[in-house]
Amino acid sequence: MSNAPLIGFVGFGAMASRMGANLTKAGYRIAAYTPSGKGGDGSTLFLPSARALAAEADIVLVSVPDDEALAKALHGPEGVLAGIKPGCVLINTSTIAPETAEALDTEGTARGLHVIDAPVAGSTPEAEAGNLIVLAGGTADAIARVQKVFDTIGRLTIHAGPAGCGTKLKLVINGIMGSTLAVVAEGVAYGLAAGLDRSMLFDALDEVPVISPHHKRKLKAAKAGDFSPQFPARLMQKDMRLLLTSAARQTAPLPAMAAATQSLSLTRRRHPDADYSALFAVMESLVANTP
């Protein structure tokens, strides 16, 4: 469809590229800019700067690792905000600090933009299947403008509230996800240290209802020693850090999540680019007295 909206991706990594593929299949036009300067396989138009991309796009979707990368993508003479047109929708799917999301909404609204913080729940398998859950913060009007886009990349859109609320909900979800995996990994560590058969232990945990489907998937990978990065440890630890910082601002006590963050910090230090479930390998190495 030549008249379809052009969606410009700033950042086109594992998650964004899969979203882009689903949008292309649905008939949208897409283009991308990567801060690393790396292009794709030739099927996607890559532009030389975030500014150039924003000037062409009807919808700008930013998917970068953290607050610092977001600031570089948005600001400066070659940033998104230097090129984006009033009336455009700016969607930020990056997981960032809630106050950063709120500040972006304030700045974007002043420029005549429709800003949505829309991080997603799900990893690369869900992104590939178009089965993500979009956690949207912003006005109902802004979300309605891009609802068809959200319906293409995900199975459900949750309007979490005004600006920043999508980001806050994402931190709740990732905090629970990271903390519960840390508990499962500790259980595995005890079982191995106590002499349980490794295969039996992993297989047993795959059968019991107290383990979530997500963590059962991680257990199967850990049993095989496969920590291919669906959600890298460096990003999970970053999200836990954001959660604890925001919780401290709200005087919300999170002792269990704080403890889990220490284990995930160790995982990031040892295996930054592996999946965050490499925590299983860290714990197993501790009880087995191996590297």
The catalytic residue positions are 170
Reference 133, options 217, 68, 237, 214; nearest CA is 214
Q: How many CB atoms lie within 10 A of CB 100?
A: 19
Angle at 208 between CA 202 and CA 214, to 5 degrees: 75
DSSP-derived 3-state class of residue 38? coil
Residues in the chain: 291
What tokens does 155 get? Answer: 């199975």
Residue 131: exposed, middle, or buried by beta-carbon count in 10 A (0-12, 13-18, 19+)?
Answer: middle
Let me know: does 58 contact 36? Beta carbons within 8 Å. Answer: no
Residue 210: exposed, middle, or buried by beta-carbon count in 10 A (0-12, 13-18, 19+)?
Answer: exposed
What tokens does 280 get? Answer: 């299983």
Q: How many CB atoms lie within 10 A of CB 114?
A: 22
Backbone phi, psi, residue 127, to 5°: -65, -40
